Structure 1
Amino acid sequence: MYNIDEIIYDCPVEALSNILGKKWVAAIIWELQDNKMRFGELQRAVEGCTKKMLTQQLDLLITHDIVINDKKVLNNTVESTYYLSEAGLKLLPIMETMIYWSNKNLVCDN
């Protein structure tokens, strides 16, 4: 059983699809693939994503150990840096395969 957002899934593919299918999640993971980024940098990189939505999706990804939030206190302020966990890095080849499949099999209207 897989619990994603209070929904129980029997199928691991369906559970992962629920995470990856959320708005902005794939873009967040893609932006973090080679980088450690602070919140503001990530928000600028994921154009159109609001602060509230970015916070919600980062919380989801952190909860499922896909993204790590490295918090440090410097001069009485908390500085957060986000990066992909080992599990998050393992999603990249899956996403690349999805991109390849989509480019070969789906019609894209531009």
Structure 2
Amino acid sequence: MYSVEELIFGCPVEALSNILGKKWVAVIIWTLQERQLRFGELQREVEGCTKKMLTQQLDLLVHHGIIINEKTSENNMVTSIYYLSGAGLALIPIMEKMIYWSNQNLICEK
């Protein structure tokens, strides 16, 4: 059994699809694939995502071990840096294959 936000799935593909299918999650993962970003930097990169939604999705991704939130303290200021974990980095080739499949099999209206 696989659990995502109190939902139970019998299939690992269905559980992962539930995570990746959430609004902004794929964009957040894709944005963090090559660099670490602070919250404000990530918010600017993920245009249109509200602070509340970004916080919720980051919490979900941290909870599932896809993203790491490293907090550092300097001069009484706490800085959060977000980056992909090993599990998160392992999703990039899967997402690339999803992009390829979509480009080959889905009609994109512009």
TM range (shorter): over 0.9
Tell me the CA shift for residue 81 of structure 1: 0.3
2:59 aligned with 1:40: no
Give, in whole Å, the separation in 2 of the partners of 1:75 and 1:19. 36
Give, in whole Å, the separation in 2 of the partners of 1:74 and 1:80. 11
SS, match of residue 49 in structure 2? coil
Aligned AA (2:67): V
Unaligned segments of structure 1, at least 5 residues: none
Aligned AA (1:81): I
Give, in whole Å, the separation in 2 of the partners of 1:64 and 1:9. 15
Unaligned segments of structure 2, at least 5 residues: none
Aligned AA (1:101): W
TM-score (norm 2): 0.99
Moved over 3 A (4+): none
SS, match of residue 47 in structure 2? coil
SS, match of residue 82 in structure 1? strand
2:25 aligned with 1:6: no
Question: What RMSD over aligned residues (CA atoms) do the two structures have, in Å?
Answer: 0.3
